[in-house]
Amino acid sequence: MHTKILIIGSGPAGYSAAIYAARSALKPILIAGQQPGGQLTITTDVENYPGFAEVIQGPWLMEQMKEQAKSVGVEIIDDYITDIDLKIRPFSAVGAGGTIYTAESVIISTGAQAKWLGLPSEEKFKGFGVSGCATCDGFFYKNKKVIVVGGGNSALEEALYLTQHAAEVILIHRRDTLRAEKISQDRLFNNPKIKVVRNTVIEEVLGAEDPLSVTGVRLRDILTGKEYTMDIDGVFVAIGHKPNTALFAGQLDLDEDMYIVTKKGTTLTSIPGVFAAGDAQDKIYRQAVTAAGTGCMAALDALKYLQE
């Protein structure tokens, strides 16, 4: 299958890019990927996406974006890319079923995924008290008690942000010392709402069944082996994000954390005709609205490239 624009990934960035490309009469093909709709499909309440006065559901929002893309003529294919060659034009990609897609330009919107603790109980309560994004879900914990897991810059940023809403924030770190920058640590230790618990890990997330909600955690002191429970209302896992970019390693310029490097103020990558949008290249904001914005940018950048 050949197209002028091949869009890889179907989150807010991919769907937005597809909508703009289709409206420019470029007849894009969008490959939905292994998690169609991206991270929003595992997010329940969305309250910060512009245009909706009432709380909406993440999966519903992605379904609406998908339907809008289809309505303007985007060809959406339920497949995922297993191999890609960006060294030769036209670019070529191979789908899981063996289909070969060739394209004059490529927009990469494969997103990223939060790193999780790997606990069955964590999986059970994702979206029901367990979150990987404080700026997305912090508002729901006004005057409540929450835990942030991690010791790096992102964990401290999450903890500090949550103090704007929560009554108490407890930072749980498995080591004795934090890895974050000193300025972030100073802010953390000077905030009266934050308590730091070191040398401790979460063994289990505890909660209620009806309605499904987090009520506490079972913790273990790794120095003594002692286990104890703590009553809390929410768990924020902040041990980093992993962009879904391994497919492009060795072809595109990636930074030390595997995010695609783009030219400042654009979605241009190190290869002309290849563009990156959303969380695959954004390690700072990681919001649905910013992903959608860069998807728009990628489509316009691709249009300009094709015209030239």
CB 166 within 8 A of CB 190: no
DSSP H or E stretch at residue 293:
helix 288-307
Residue burial 200-211, b: 16+ Cβ < 10 Å; e: rest: bebbbbbbeeee
Query: Active site includes 133?
Result: yes
Query: Active site includes 137?
Result: yes
Concatenated DSSP letters of 227-244: EEEEE-SEEEE-S-EEES
CB 41 within 8 A of CB 58: yes
Backbone angles phi, psi at 183, to 5 degrees: -65, -35
CA atoms within 13 A on the CB side of 183: 0
Of the candidates 79, 136, 233, 279, the residue annotated as catalytic is 136
Rounded Cα gap, residues 277 and 206, in angstroms: 37
Of the candidates 79, 137, 233, 282, the residue annotated as catalytic is 137
Rounded Cα gap, residues 34 and 96, in angstroms: 10
Query: Cα dihedral angle (264, 266, 267, 271), rounded to 10 degrees?
Result: -70
Query: Active site includes 296?
Result: no
Backbone angles phi, psi at 185, to 5 degrees: -65, -40
* CB atoms inside a 10 Å sphere around CB 109: 33
Concatenated DSSP letters of 158-196: HHHHHTTT-SEEEEE-SSSS--S-HHHHHHHHT-TTEEE
Please identify every residue annotated as catalytic: 133, 136-137
